[in-house]
Chains A and B, each alone.
Chain A
Amino acid sequence: MSTHISDATSGAHEEIGHSEAGVEQKHLGEKSADWVDGRLGVYNLAKANLRKIFPDHWSFMLGEICLYSFIIIILTGVYLTLFFNPSMGEVVYHGTYTPLQGIKMSEAYKSALDISFDVRGGLLIRQIHHWAAIVFVAAMLVHMMRVFFTGAFRKPREINWLFGFLLLFLGMFDGFMGYSLPDDLLSGTGIRFMEGAILSVPLVGTYLQMFLYGGQFPGNDIIPRFFTIHVLLIPGIMLGLLVAHLILVFYHKHTQFAGPGRTEKNVVGMPLMPVYMAKAGGFFFLVFGVIAFVSAIASVNPIWEYGPYRPDQVSTDAQPDWYMGFSEGLIRIMPGWEIRAWGHTLELGVFIPLVIFGLMFVVIAIYPFLEGWITGDKREHHILDRPRNAPVRTGLGVAWIAEYIILLVGGGNDLFATHLHLSIDAITWACRVLFFVGPVIAFMVTKRWCMGLQRRDKDKILHGRETGTIKRLPHGEFIEVHAQLPQEELFRLTAHEQSAPAELPAAVDENGVKRKIGSITKLRAKLSAGYFGPQSQIAKPTAEEHAEITSGHGHH
């Protein structure tokens, strides 16, 4: 490693310099570093981390997009709080935007208008804040998919998966509250929806609603309360989770894809200082720059167009921001079930979607533990799976995404109806059917696809890759020349582990006594067979098989 050698020589140079000066004169930078170390002990921290190695892959940077958009949201959000007035007090507008002249509105809405029209750059900051929020949640979802499909959530990273999950969950709700704050017609409709959803909760719904809104809808409290939750409570918790998330990333060291020189016991890549300081630091500016540019060219949430909120007014296309779109879909495709009995009403048309909404998140949160239990794998994993080599997991992930997309379509059913000239009722019915069928089809197709890719890998290993070179044999037959894969590639394609399904304990124990096998044990064995059975993995070729084929008839 040439760098180390050069470091050593330059160090030697400095020493000589010092001795020439004759005094133990330390550099100012060094002196201040010593001062800090004397109080905080930073040298030990720096020793472990300054040259920390990170592997290079574009998909490892998705999390950074989340981190940076979060920072952008905080920076722009702080700016917005300087001008925003989260009050539902009523005023008559006499500002610069003439189409709302003389209209009654809340102070929250008026201050949001003022930010948009009278504060120079206010509209830009508002738009950056909103676009960054849209990107933030989208990036979190994509980041989560990357972690899921590569199996990066396995031991020892399950807890970090939970932190990430909580960040996604909280990020969505904080976004929803931000959308509610300007008190325009659209955001008020969202708050109204929330009232209905809370009221549908059995037993305590009305109490929760009264306590949250400070009385009957809409009251005067909901926006100030949302404001505090939006700017203080949730971001505070998220900041804590974020720090914990990053500390764990550093502590666990990053995962890496299989490849020559990469093992479960090492990490191969480039050092934090200088390469990742420049790349990751630079990426922050790139993310900020792209979002600022998007905010310059594309309008987001033009609140002046919506008008102020009034509970008796509404505009069609009443949708939440995209990340709440799937819950909108859930509620739109739900049939209007309601149970009325013994003087009570159970509003299933709202409550069931609310429960499914929760379930869709719970399955994300518990999946690592579920998979760990099924596979019984207690080892650490730092080499990532290729999605094809874990067909069941990949299939389940795609099934979840399919469900999510179906619900997003359901949430935008009115726009699909107008833009594709379809009947809204037909789209809703299609989504109702697909809600059940879609994920199953997605799972089966994905799993088969993965198996096909595994087969192709095996072919490639045993028979080499197609070169595109056509050769004519002496007897006139044309064949395509296959090239043997180089060792690195052979290793990379077979580096993954293949587990055997868990076996049920013998029906009779060593003393000849019949053993009782619990139904949970049986279920687990079944699930394990689903993950690792012959229908879920193609045995990877051994070197012996390879040798047989290659020596048998030479290379094709």
Chain B
Amino acid sequence: MKKLSARRRHPLAALVVLIFALAAVGSLYAALAPTNSASADASQSLQVEEGKRLYQVGCASCHGLNAEGTKDGPSLIGVGGAAVDFQVGTGRMPAQQPGAQVPKKKVIYDQGQIDQLAAYVASLGAGPAQPVASQLTGGDVARGGELFRTNCAQCHNFAGAGGALSEGKFAPSLAGVSAKHIYEAMITGPQNMPSFPNSTMPEQAKKDIIAYVNHTTNSDSNPSYGGMTLGSIGPVSEGLFGWIFALGALIGVAIWIAARTPKAKKS
């Protein structure tokens, strides 16, 4: 045991732990998962079948056994795979507790399971599907900025830092959100966010917006030329900083200037 603990700072320790953890999760999953999933056939119907099982364990209590919706959760018929991928892939679903808004949290399903869930929900009724990679790239940052300021900045702020909505709801920060999830949010309109379907916001516009969000929320592509961003939330944080640090420093200097120089000790 002592040997083990001595090596826990070894550079490879993290890797070893990771492998063990993955193995544990895998075997746990194998033990819990229905046995017929072992068959290598990855056909669509199997995906749906798997998704349905996952759904019944994790989702049915709120969304109903057949996804018809209950008082605790809306119907999922016709919401499409994109909605599932967004909600579950950002950890918003399964929801933990009722509140003004379901926030993003730790994701508890792996992407394979999310795909299965999405396939199941998609099978219930036609809806927006998860995007493929080519739908997410090739946008123009400048055009995206223009579209972002027309469609998105009013809630998510000019720099994608997020903002307040009514009654405790809020538009979340867009920093670190993957292109896929941005796309899915636009096309499905999760929670109180309105949707921006392809019929009124074409695919290219979405690519442009994704390009802009990726650009503007990433400090490598969008440096804060003038210094600290102070949260990119406009003049409020600037005012606070000015009062506390700039004026504070100046008052400190004034105190130094006016302070008595120490007198020589009487000996």
Contacts and interface: CB of A to CB of B under 8 A. Distances in A.
Interface of A: 56-62, 64-65, 98-103, 116-117, 123, 127, 131, 134-135, 138-139, 142, 179, 185-186, 279, 282-283, 286-287, 290-291, 294-302, 304-307, 310, 312-323, 325, 411-415, 417-418, 421-426
A421 B257 contact: no
17 contacts: A56-B260, A99-B212, A103-B145, A134-B239, A134-B242, A135-B250, A279-B257, A298-B226, A298-B230, A298-B238, A299-B227, A316-B153, A316-B164, A319-B235, A322-B242, A414-B163, A415-B237
Contact of B153 (A57, A131, A302, A314): A314
Contacts of A319: 234-236
Nearest to A426: B168
Contacts of A425: 166-167
B40 interface: no
A414 B235 CA distance: 13
B225 A299 contact: yes
A58 B254 CA distance: 5
Contacts of A102: 142-143
Contact of B232 (A56, A138, A305, A307): A305
B254 A316 contact: no
B167 A415 contact: no
B258 A58 contact: yes
The 6 closest A-B pairs by CB, nearest first: A322-B239, A316-B163, A299-B226, A134-B242, A423-B168, A315-B158
Interface of B: 100, 141-143, 145-146, 149-150, 153-159, 161-168, 170-171, 212, 215-216, 222, 224-230, 232-243, 245-247, 249-251, 253-255, 257-260
B158 A424 contact: no
A299 B164 contact: no
Nearest to B141: A99
A14 B146 CA distance: 76
Nearest to B153: A315
Nearest to A99: B141
A315 B249 contact: no
Contacts, number: 208
Nearest to A307: B149
Contacts of A99: 141-142, 145, 212, 215-216, 222
Contacts of A426: 168
Nearest to A320: B235
Contacts of B230: 298-299
B164 A414 contact: yes
A60 B258 CA distance: 9
B233 A134 contact: no
Contact of B154 (A65, A135, A291, A314): A314
A139 B245 CA distance: 13
Nearest to A312: B150
Given A299-B226, A424-B164, A315 B258 contact: no
Contacts of A412: 236
Nearest to B221: A99
Contacts of B212: 99
Contact of A322 (B155, B215, B235): B235
A253 to B, nearest CB: 18
B100 A423 contact: yes
A88 B255 CA distance: 46
B142 to A, nearest CB: 5
Contact of B164 (A312, A322, A417): A417
A306 B148 CA distance: 11
A65 B243 contact: no
Given A131-B242, A314-B153, A317-B157, A307 B250 contact: no
Contacts of A139: 247, 250
Contacts of B259: 58
A102 B143 CA distance: 8
Contact of A317 (B236, B240, B253): B236
Contacts of B164: 316, 413-415, 417-418, 424
Contacts of B142: 98-103
Given A100-B142, A103-B146, A316-B171, A134 B238 contact: yes
B249 A290 contact: yes
A417 to B, nearest CB: 4
A142 B247 contact: yes
Given A99-B212, A282-B257, A298-B226, A424 B167 contact: yes
A138 B243 contact: yes
B257 A61 contact: yes
Contacts of B258: 56-58, 60-61
Max chain B CB contacts within 10 Å: which of A60, A296, A299? A299
A292 to B, nearest CB: 11
Nearest to A316: B163
Nearest to A101: B142
B246 A291 contact: yes
Given A131-B242, A313-B149, A283 B216 contact: no
B141 to A, nearest CB: 5
Contacts of A179: 235
Contact of A313 (B150, B242, B250): B150
Max chain A CB contacts within 10 Å: which of B143, B153, B227, B236? B236
Contact of B238 (A316, A318, A321): A321
B145 A307 contact: yes
A220 to B, nearest CB: 22
Contacts of B241: 298
A282 B247 CA distance: 17
Max chain B CB contacts within 10 Å: which of A101, A305, A314, A315? A315
A283 B245 CA distance: 17
A291 B245 CA distance: 10
Nearest to B152: A315
Nearest to B158: A315
